[in-house]
C-alpha cells in the first residue's frame, strides 16, 4: 500500500512539473474541444473559439456568443484549465474578451485578453489581442505580472482553402530575473481544406522558441447535417493522437475531446457555447 501511494505521488508530481513547465513556457493554452479533437490544429479554422487560437478567425462571427471551457490535464484536478470567453460582432469588427485560469492555490497562472478582429474584404481577416499574464507561486513566493500581445491573419485563397498565421508574444516578456527566464514567442502557420460542406482537413506547423523542434499537427472533421461532428488528429509533439465529437442544437454547441500524451496518457476537454 505504501509503495502504491509513493508511486502515485511520484506520478502526480512529475505530471505537475511537466505541465507547469509547458504552461509557464507559453505552451498550449486551451484551444477548445473542437480543435483539441484535431490534436489542437486550429490556426486556419474559423469560429468562436479562435478567440484562443487565431483571433483573425473570429472575424466571421455573426452573432454575440459566450463560451466556457474545461480541460483536465492527465485527469488531474490540480492541472485543470478553466476558460470563459465572450465575443460581440459590430459593424466595425468583432470585439471579445477571454479569461483563463490554470493550476491550483499553490501554483496558478492567469491569462486575460481583450481582442479586436475584422475582415478586410472577402479574402483577408486580421485579429489582435492584448494579454495580461500572471504567474503565482504559493508559500510566500508571490506573483509575476506581464503584458504582451498576439496577432493573427487568415486568407481564403479559394472557396475551399484557407491559410492562417498566428504570432504570440513576439516581444518575449520576462518571467523571472533568474537566468533571464522569458515567456517564449510562438509562431504557427497552417491550412484548412474544405473538401465539401461535410468534410474538412487541417494542418499546421508550430515553432516555439522554448523548443528546438518544429511541431506538425493535422486533423480531420466530418459532420452530419451540420449537427453532429466527428474529429481525429495527430501531432509530431508529445500529444501524439486525439479524437473528439460535437453536437450543435440551435444556438448551443457542445464539444468533447481527448488528446493522448505519449508518456502521461489522456487529457479530456469539453466546451460549451451559446450564440444569442
Question: What per-residue confidence (pLDDT) applies to 101?
Answer: 95
Tens of pLDDT along the chain (276 residues) come to 544 444 444 444 444 444 444 444 444 566 889 999 999 999 999 999 999 999 999 999 999 999 999 999 888 888 899 999 999 999 999 999 999 999 988 889 999 999 999 999 889 999 999 999 998 887 777 888 999 999 999 999 999 999 999 999 999 998 777 767 888 899 999 999 999 999 999 999 999 988 889 999 999 999 998 899 999 999 998 899 999 999 999 899 999 999 999 888 899 999 999 999
b/e burial code for range 215-247 (CB count within 10 A of at least 16 → b) = bbbbbbbebeeeeebebbbbbebbbeebbbebe
Beta carbons within 8 Å of 103's beta carbon, 6+ residues apart:
20, 23, 78, 79, 80, 109
Segment 113-118 long-range contacts (CB within 8 Å, at least 24 positions apart): 113/51, 113/150, 115/51, 115/55, 115/58, 116/55, 117/55, 117/56, 117/57, 117/58, 117/59, 117/61, 117/93, 118/59, 118/92, 118/93, 118/94
C-alpha cell at 172: 518575449
CATH code for the domain in which residue 130 is found: 2.40.160.60
67: domain range? 2-275
Neighbours of 175 (CB within 10 A): 18
pTM equals 0.87
Residue 36 to residue 219: CA distance in whole angstroms:
9
Instruction: Specify the pairing of strand 252-261 against strand 107-120.
Output: unpaired
Question: What per-residue confidence (pLDDT) applies to 212?
Answer: 85
Domain count, the chain: 1
Amino acid at each position: 500500500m505504501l509503495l502504491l501511494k509513493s508511486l502515485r505521488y511520484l506520478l502526480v508530481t512529475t505530471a505537475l512539473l511537466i505541465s507547469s513547465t509547458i504552461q509557464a513556457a507559453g505552451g498550449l493554452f486551451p484551444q477548445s474541444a473542437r480543435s483539441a479533437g484535431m490534436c489542437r490544429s486550429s490556426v486556419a479554422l474559423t469560429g468562436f473559439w479562435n478567440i484562443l487560437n487565431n483571433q483573425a478567425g473570429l472575424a466571421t462571427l455573426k452573432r454575440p456568443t459566450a463560451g466556457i471551457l474545461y480541460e483536465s490535464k492527465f485527469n488531474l484536478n490540480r492541472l485543470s484549465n478553466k476558460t470563459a470567453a465572450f465575443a460581440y460582432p459590430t459593424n466595425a469588427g468583432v470585439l471579445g474578451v477571454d479569461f483563463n485560469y490554470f493550476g491550483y492555490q499553490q501554483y496558478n497562472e492567469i491569462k486575460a485578453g481583450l481582442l479586436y478582429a475584422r475582415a478586410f474584404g472577402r479574402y483577408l481577416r486580421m485579429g489582435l489581442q492584448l494579454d495580461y499574464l500572471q504567474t503565482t507561486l504559493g508559500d510566500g513566493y508571490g506573483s509575476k505580472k506581464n503584458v504582451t500581445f498576439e496577432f493573427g491573419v487568415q486568407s481564403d485563397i479559394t472557396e475551399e482553402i484557407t491559410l492562417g498565421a498566428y504570432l504570440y508574444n513576439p516581444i518575449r516578456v520576462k518571467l523571472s530575473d533568474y537566468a533571464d527566464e522569458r515567456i517564449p514567442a510562438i509562431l504557427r502557420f497552417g491550412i484548412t481544406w474544405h473538401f465539401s460542406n461535410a468534410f474538412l482537413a487541417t494542418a499546421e506547423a508550430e515553432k516555439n522558441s522554448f523548443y528546438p523542434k518544429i511541431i506538425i499537427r493535422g486533423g480531420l472533421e466530418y459532420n452530419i447535417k451540420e449537427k453532429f461532428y466527428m474529429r481525429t488528429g495527430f501531432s509530431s509533439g508529445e500529444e501524439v493522437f486525439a479524437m473528439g465529437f460535437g453536437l450543435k442544437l440551435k444556438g448551443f454547441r457542445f464539444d468533447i475531446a481527448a488528446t493522448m500524451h505519449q508518456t502521461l496518457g489522456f487529457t479530456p476537454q469539453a466546451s460549451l457555447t451559446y450564440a444569442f
